[in-house]
Amino acid sequence: MEGGAGNKLLSLYFNLMLIVQLQFWSSLLPISYSAAIRHLPGFPGPLPFELETGYVGVGESEEVQLFYYFLKSEKNPEKDPLVIWLTGGPGCSALSALLYEIGPLFFAVDEEYNGTLPNLVLKPHSWTQVASIIFIDSPVGTGFSYSTTSQGFQTGDFKSSKHLYQFLTKWMIDHPELVNNPIYVAGDSYSGKIIPLVVKDISDGNEAGNEPFINIKGYIMGNPVTDPVFDSNKQVQYAHGMGLIPDELYESVKRSCGGNYVQIDPTNVLCQKDMQSFYKCISGLNIAQILEPLCFFASPKPEEMVGDRRSLKQKNNEFLDPKPIKPIPTDRCRSFDYLLAYSWANDSRVRNALHIRKGSVGNWQRCSYGLPYQYEIQSSIEYHANLSKKGFRSLIYSGDHDMAVPFLATEAWIKSLNYSIVDEWRSWIVDGQIGGYTRTYSNRMTFATVKGGGHTAPEYKPKECFAMFKRWISEDPL
């Protein structure tokens, strides 16, 4: 037998054995499970906030087990809003958002890392100061979520959205004390495709009389993947505006490609040539935040980025989540901070503290890009239009130094909804300085830029993003 074929058969055997073990093991466990966490390895003393972790079974036979982290508001959890946070990818762990974006904990990155368990410290700008947050590992196969059947891992935009609605209904039944709290669905990056669909599912369920009634009030999205016609086409204009490509190339590519840089006619030689020049200009950039170093040069070759881009994740994930390899010794390389999460989340003491089911998942990954996932929603704009008609509030924000989903793209599709402006373009201020710019529309949609922010804006500008969130969630002007 050929060595390659033998290895494939061996791998298949071990995968099948794992599935059989999971099916047997999970049959002995409750469909839903939760536990209060008082201490976490790496953090000195008891946690100064309330943390709960657990699983909720979803799917036809509850074969999909979605893992979550629930942090109560540090202000007034009985009345404060409840935020359901969906990390992007698809396939990026909720723990990434908790630690690097809006949660109360972060790694002590100023300490010299010696290979042992990383230390945790408190963050001063956690969104949990004014809201309770459920961080969900979704879709299945993300973070610590798993399936007890091989079929359960097959998912996509619509199925994962349905699972999230099932999750929320079951979770609310187990937490009746929060049933009257205002609820918002939030997230960033690829979750821009999923969030409006989840809000629709919740709204439809309420209108159908499903129990429990979910007090959904609106949604929040950061640098959201929405529509390739807007998202990718605006990259060229953005690069020109930021001085990354010269005037001559910008004018030439506009003429040769006719403003369409997503689905290029293979016979259009001039457009292909101009796009090659464009990608050559940006090939050394960290497109998640163009001012920061690209520490791991794993970017795709320019010719691989030309053509039909069904999702930004398919071409840009290597920029957004470099593989956990030995870091290049650079001054404050953000990629090194990501590596700390691998060391922490894969430590057996941490898994025991979080009550992760033994044998359910292998190594924790910050982003699992190999999921068998179906990208079914080409554009989510129609969902925003329908949700606007129902009167839901929305906050759409963009870090203005993100080139993966440029703020120009988000601004353009918002304008395409054709709602009148009720608060004209202006700056918003944090501690006497401009935090970004904002505009509000008659459909109760607020658009905001975060000055200096990247693809996951709170990661880069935590103080400004917390101020933005706190004002908006309280229905105050930014």
Residues classed as catalytic: 189, 402, 455
Q: Where are the alpha helices (DSSP H) in 85-156?
A: 94-97
Alpha-carbon distance 275 to 250, whole Å?
Answer: 10
Q: Which tokens sit at 230?
A: 């807007």
Q: Which residues pair with 188 in a beta bridge?
A: 222
Q: Which residues pair with 397 in a beta bridge?
A: 222, 448
Alpha-carbon distance 231 to 250, whole Å?
Answer: 17
Count, in order, helices (H) and strands (E) of the chain. 15, 16
Peptide bond just before 182 cis, omega within 30 deg? no
Q: Are 54 and 34 in contact (CB under 8 A)?
A: yes
Alpha-carbon distance 474 to 466, whole Å?
Answer: 12
Q: Where are the alpha helices (DSSP H) in 71-147?
A: 94-97
Alpha-carbon distance 449 to 401, whole Å?
Answer: 10
